[in-house]
C-alpha cells in the first residue's frame, strides 16, 4: 500500500478521480459497489482508491486484496488469529487468475435499450451482458464466482498449512539432559545388578527419551544406545583430559536426534495443492454452471478453464513436490555425511592413540624387564659368592637376596633396585594410558555402530516417502490426463461459443455505435449545443458501446492468453504422446475459431508433426480480396502440406496493424468525407479502434478504412470525374 509522509496535505479523492480516465472512474465505482455488497468490514474511500492504484487499476486484483483484508478483520473480531503468522503462499502452487491485471474491467452497466427497429438493428442481435453474470467475470485465482471466492479463499488458507503444523518439535536440550541423566544413573551401584549394567528402570529412562523425541525405534536401537552410553561411562571414568565429556555426549545427542520422526517420516512438508477436495468443488461448480439455463459462455469458459488448470497445476505441484523432497533428502544426506566425518575423525584419532599407547607400553615393559634382569643378575652374583664360601644352596640364595635387597651399604644393588622401581612405575602409567585409549576407541566404535543403525533406519523412511510420493504423482497424472482428455474438448467448444458471442456482441455494439453517432451528428446539426441532457445521454451511450467493443476484444485476448499459458504448461508436463492425444481430441473444435484464439491453437496443433516449421509457414487456404497474393517463394514451396488439417488453422493477417495511419470514410449528405486517423487497436472481425486528430476514438469496420495510397487514388478519381459531370450539366 502506498504511504504518505505525515504532515503533508493529500488531495481529495474527488480531485484524484478527475485525473483518471472515464473508464477507470467507472472501474473504481464498480469496485466500491462490490466492496459494499460483499465485504462485512467498512473501508474508507481513500483506502479503496490506494488499493485500486496499487493493483494497477484492476478491479479483480483490487477486490481480491480488499477481500483478504476483510477476512483478516473478521478473524480478528472472532479471536481467530491462526492466519496471522502465515507466510506468503507459493506462487508455483497457486492457480493463475482468470482476469489478468490490466487497465480494464468487464463492468458494463445495464441500460434501457431503444427498440432495435428504431435504429434499423436486426432483431437477431446478441443480448446485452446480463448484470447477474458480472460476478463470473471478476474471478479469483481459480476462476470461480465471487460467491464462492471467499469460501475457497478460506479453504486455501487452510490448505496452505504444512504437514508439520501439529507435529511436536524435537529439542536438543531435552535429548542431552536425558542422556546425561541416564549415564549418571548407570554409574550408581544397584543391589540387584553390578554398577554399569542397565536395569529395567534405566531402560525405561531411555524409552522415555525416545518418546519425548517422537522417534521411530526398535530393540536394536535401544541396545545400541545402551552400549554407547555404557562405553561413554567407561571412557569418562578414566578421568583424562583427552576425553571431552560434553563434546562426546553432544555427539551421541546428534546421532539420536537423526532418528526418523514418528510423524514426519521424511515426506514433503507442503500440502500438494490444489487438493482433491478443491478440485471436486471446482468440478461441482462447473457442473452447476454448465447445467444452468440459460448459461453464459463467459461463466462456462471460466469454470471449465478452472477445472483444466486445476488438474494441470496439481500435476505440476507433484513435480515440484518431488523436487522439494529431493532437496529435503539431500539435506538429510548432508547431515549424515557430516556426522560420519565427525565420528570417522574421532575414530582415526583414537586409533592413533591406541597405537601410540601400545608402543609406549611395550617400551616401558621392556625397560622394566631390563631393570629386573639387572637386579636378578646382582642376586645371582651374590649367590655364587655365598656358595663359594661354603654355604648350602638354600642358604646361599637367602644370603644373596639379603645382600641385594636389604643391604643399604651395597650401592650397586640400591641403584639397580631404584631403576627397577622407576621402570615399574612407568609401566603402570603406560598401562593406564593404554586402557584409556582402548576405552576411548571402544566408545567411538559404539557411536559408529549407532550412527550406522540410525542412518539405515532413516534411509528406509526416506525411500518409503519417495515411493509413496511417486505413487501419488503417478495416480494424479493418470487421473489428470483422463479428466483433461474429456474436459478440454468441451472447453474448446465453449471457447468457440465465446468467440461467436463476443464477435456478435462487438458487431451489435458497432452498429449501435454508428446509430448513436448519427443521432449525435443530427442533434448537432439541428440543435447545436442546446438540449445538453439529450446530447450527454447520446455521448454516454457512445462511450458505453465503445467500452463494449473494447471489452469484447480484450475478453478474447484474455481467453487466448489463458489458453496459451495452459497449453504451454501441458507441453512442459506431459509426454509427447499424451499431448498429441489431447491435441487430437480437441482438433475438431478448433476449425471454427478465429484470431486470436486460432493463432494460439495453431501453435500447438502441429506439435506431433516433424515438419512443424513448414506447416507454420504454409500458405493460407483463403485470402481476403483486398489483400495481395502471398509471396511467390512461400506459395511455390514443394514441401508445404496440402491437407486441410495442416492449413485449417492458418488465417490471413489483418489489413492494418497498430500504429498505421489510415483514412476513415464517413457519410456526409449525399457524399462521403475522409478523415485521417491512426490505428490503436485491432478488434475481432476486422474492426479497428481509431484515434482521430481531435482525440476522439471510434471503431470502424475494415471496409470503411483506406491506406494513404488508396485515399490518394480515390481523390484522383474524384478529381477526374468532377469536370466530366460539369460538362454534362452544360450540355
Each domain of the chain, given as residue ranges in start order, spans: 15-81, 172-257, 615-653, 661-730
| CA–CA dist 713, 674 (Å, integer) | 13
pLDDT for 444 equals 92
pLDDT for 91 equals 36
Point out the least confidently predicted range of 5-19, 156-170, 297-311, 468-482: 156-170
> Is-contact 720 539, C-beta < 8 A?
no
| CA–CA dist 359, 490 (Å, integer) | 86
| CA–CA dist 24, 21 (Å, integer) | 5
DSSP per residue over 641-668, as a string? --SHHHHTT--PPPSS-TT-EEEEEEEE
> Is-contact 299 145, C-beta < 8 A?
yes
In degrees rounded to 5, what are phi and psi of residue 689? -95, 125
pLDDT in tens, 555-589: 888 888 898 899 889 988 888 888 888 888 888 87
Residue with cell 446478441: 126
Q: What percent of the chain has pLDDT over 70?
A: 75
Sheet architecture: strand order including 697-701:
697-701, 687-692, 671-683, 661-668, 705-706
> Is-contact 490 582, C-beta < 8 A?
no
Residue 724 scores a pLDDT above 60: no
Can you give the pTM of this predicted structure? 0.54
Q: What percent of the chain has pLDDT over 90?
A: 19
The mean per-residue pLDDT over the stretch 250-257 comes to 93
- Least Cα distance to 349 among 243, 457, 214, 197 occurs for 243
Of 3-12, 126-135, 583-592, 719-728, the range with the highest mean pLDDT is 583-592
Q: Using pLDDT thresholds of 50, 70 and 90, give the confidence band for residue 81.
A: very low
Residue with cell 518409503: 464
Torsion of CA 222, 223, 224, 230, to 10 degrees: 110
Cell of 245: 565429556
Torsion of CA 306, 311, 312, 313, to 10 degrees: 80
In eight-state DSSP terms, residue 494 is: H
Q: Using pLDDT thresholds of 50, 70 and 90, give the confidence band for residue 225.
A: very high
> Is-contact 408 359, C-beta < 8 A?
no
- Least Cα distance to 260 among 458, 455, 447 occurs for 458
Widest pairwise Cα distance in the chain = 188
Cell of 600: 494460439
pLDDT in tens, 472-504: 999 999 999 999 999 999 998 888 888 888 888
> Is-contact 318 395, C-beta < 8 A?
no
In degrees rounded to 5, what are phi and psi of residue 11? -70, 155
Residue 552 scores a pLDDT above 60: yes
pLDDT in tens, 598-641: 777 776 665 333 333 334 444 333 333 333 333 333 333 344 44
pLDDT for 46 equals 81
For residue 718, the tally of other CB atoms under 10 A from its CB is 11
Pick the CATH number of 661-730 from 2.30.30.140, 2.40.240.10, 2.60.40.10, 3.40.50.2020: 2.30.30.140
How many residues can be counted in the chain? 731
Question: Mean pLDDT of all residues in the chain?
Answer: 76
Top-confidence residue, 197 or 506:
506
Residue with cell 460476478: 135
Amino acid at each position: 500500500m502506498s504511504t504518505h509522509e505525515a504532515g503533508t496535505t493529500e488531495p481529495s479523492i474527488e480531485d484524484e478521480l478527475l485525473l483518471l480516465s472515464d473508464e477507470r472512474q467507472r472501474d473504481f465505482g464498480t469496485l466500491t459497489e462490490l466492496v459494499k455488497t460483499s465485504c462485512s468490514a467498512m473501508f474508507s474511500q481513500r483506502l479503496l482508491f490506494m488499493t485500486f492504484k496499487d493493483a494497477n487499476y484492476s478491479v479483480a486484483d483490487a477486490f481480491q486484496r480488499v477481500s483478504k483484508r476483510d477476512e483478516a478483520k473478521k478473524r480478528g473480531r472472532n479471536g481467530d488469529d491462526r492466519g496471522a503468522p502465515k507466510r506468503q503462499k507459493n506462487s508455483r502452487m497457486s492457480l493463475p487468475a482468470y482476469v489478468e491485471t490490466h487497465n480494464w474491467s468487464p463492468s458494463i452497466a445495464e441500460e434501457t435499450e431503444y427498440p432495435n427497429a428504431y435504429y434499423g438493428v436486426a432483431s437477431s442481435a446478441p443480448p446485452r451482458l446480463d448484470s447477474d453474470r458480472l460476478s463470473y467475470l471478476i474471478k479469483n485465482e481459480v476462476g470461480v464466482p465471487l460467491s464462492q471466492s471467499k469460501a475457497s479463499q478460506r479453504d486455501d488458507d487452510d490448505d496452505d498449512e504444512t504437514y508439520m503444523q501439529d507435529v511436536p518439535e524435537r529439542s536438543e536440550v531435552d535429548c542431552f539432559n536425558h542422556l546425561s541423566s541416564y549415564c549418571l544413573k548407570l554409574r550408581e551401584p544397584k543391589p540387584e545388578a553390578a554398577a554399569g549394567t542397565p536395569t529395567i528402570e534405566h531402560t525405561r529412562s531411555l524409552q522415555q527419551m525416545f518418546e519425548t523425541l517422537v522417534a521411530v525405534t526398535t530393540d536394536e536401537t535401544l541396545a545400541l544406545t545402551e552400549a554407547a552410553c555404557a562405553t561413554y561411562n567407561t571412557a569418562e571414568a578414566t578421568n583424562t583430559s583427552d576425553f571431552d565429556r560434553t563434546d562426546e555426549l553432544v555427539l551421541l545427542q546428534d546421532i539420536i536426534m537423526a532418528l526418523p520422526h514418528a510423524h514426519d517420516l521424511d515426506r514433503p512438508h507442503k500440502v500438494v495443492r490444489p487438493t482433491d477436495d478443491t478440485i471436486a468443488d471446482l468440478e461441482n461448480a462447473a457442473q452447476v454452471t454448465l447445467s444452468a439455463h440459460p448459461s453464459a459462455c463467459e461463466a462456462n469458459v471460466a469454470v471449465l478453464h478452472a477445472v483444466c488448470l486445476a488438474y494441470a497445476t496439481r500435476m505440476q505441484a507433484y513435480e515440484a513436490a518431488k523436487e522439494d523432497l529431493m532437496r529435503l533428502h539431500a539435506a538429510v544426506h548432508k547431515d549424515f555425511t557430516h556426522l560420519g566425518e565427525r565420528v570417522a575423525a574421532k575414530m582415526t584419532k583414537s586409533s592413533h592413540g591406541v597405537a601410540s599407547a601400545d608402543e609406549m607400553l611395550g617400551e616401558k615393559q621392556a625397560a622394566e624387564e631390563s631393570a629386573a634382569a639387572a637386579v636378578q643378575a646382582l642376586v645371582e652374583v651374590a649367590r655364587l659368592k655365598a656358595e663359594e664360601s661354603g654355604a648350602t644352596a638354600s642358604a646361599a640364595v637367602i644370603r644373596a637376596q639379603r645382600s641385594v635387597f636389604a643391604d643399604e651399604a651395597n650401592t650397586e644393588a640400591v641403584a639397580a633396585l631404584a631403576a627397577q622401581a622407576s621402570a615399574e612405575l612407568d609401566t603402570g602409567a603406560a598401562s593406564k594410558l593404554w586402557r584409556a585409549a582402548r576405552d576411548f576407541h571402544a566408545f567411538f566404535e559404539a557411536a559408529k555402530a549407532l550412527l550406522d543403525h540410525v542412518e539405515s533406519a532413516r534411509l528406509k523412511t526416506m525411500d518409503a516417502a519417495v515411493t509413496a510420493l511417486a505413487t501419488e504423482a503417478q495416480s494424479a497424472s493418470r487421473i489428470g490426463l483422463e479428466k483433461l482428455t474429456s474436459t478440454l474438448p468441451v472447453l474448446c467448444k465453449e471457447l468457440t461459443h465465446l468467440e461467436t458471442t463476443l464477435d456478435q456482441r462487438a458487431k451489435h455494439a458497432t452498429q449501435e455505435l454508428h446509430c448513436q453517432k448519427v443521432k449525435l451528428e443530427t442533434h448537432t446539426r439541428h440543435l447545436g449545443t442546446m438540449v445538453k441532457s439529450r446530447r450527454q445521454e447520446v455521448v454516454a451511450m457512445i462511450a458505453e458501446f465503445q467500452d463494449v467493443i473494447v471489452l469484447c476484444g480484450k475478453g478474447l485476448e484474455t481467453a487466448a492468453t489463458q489458453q496459451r499459458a495452459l497449453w504451454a504448461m501441458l507441453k512442459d508436463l506431459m509426454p509427447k504422446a499424451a499431448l498429441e492425444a489431447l491435441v487430437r481430441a480437441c482438433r475438431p473444435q478448433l476449425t471454427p475459431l478465429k484470431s486470436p484464439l486460432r493463432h494460439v491453437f495453431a501453435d500447438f496443433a502441429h506439435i506431433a508433426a516433424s515438419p512443424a516449421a513448414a506447416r507454420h509457414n504454409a500458405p493460407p487456404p483463403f485470402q481476403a480480396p483486398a489483400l495481395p497474393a502471398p509471396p511467390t517463394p512461400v506459395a511455390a514451396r514443394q514441401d508445404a502440406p496440402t491437407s486441410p488439417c495442416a492449413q485449417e488453422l492458418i488465417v490471413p493477417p489483418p489489413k492494418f496493424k497498430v500504429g498505421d495511419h489510415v483514412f476513415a470514410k464517413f457519410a456526409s449528405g449525399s457524399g462521403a468525407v475522409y478523415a485521417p486517423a491512426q490505428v490503436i487497436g485491432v478488434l475481432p472481425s476486422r474492426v479497428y479502434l481509431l484515434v482521430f486528430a481531435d482525440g476522439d476514438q471510434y471503431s470502424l469496420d475494415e471496409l470503411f478504412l483506406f491506406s494513404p495510397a488508396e485515399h490518394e487514388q480515390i481523390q484522383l478519381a474524384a478529381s477526374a470525374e468532377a469536370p466530366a459531370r460539369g460538362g454534362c450539366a452544360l450540355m
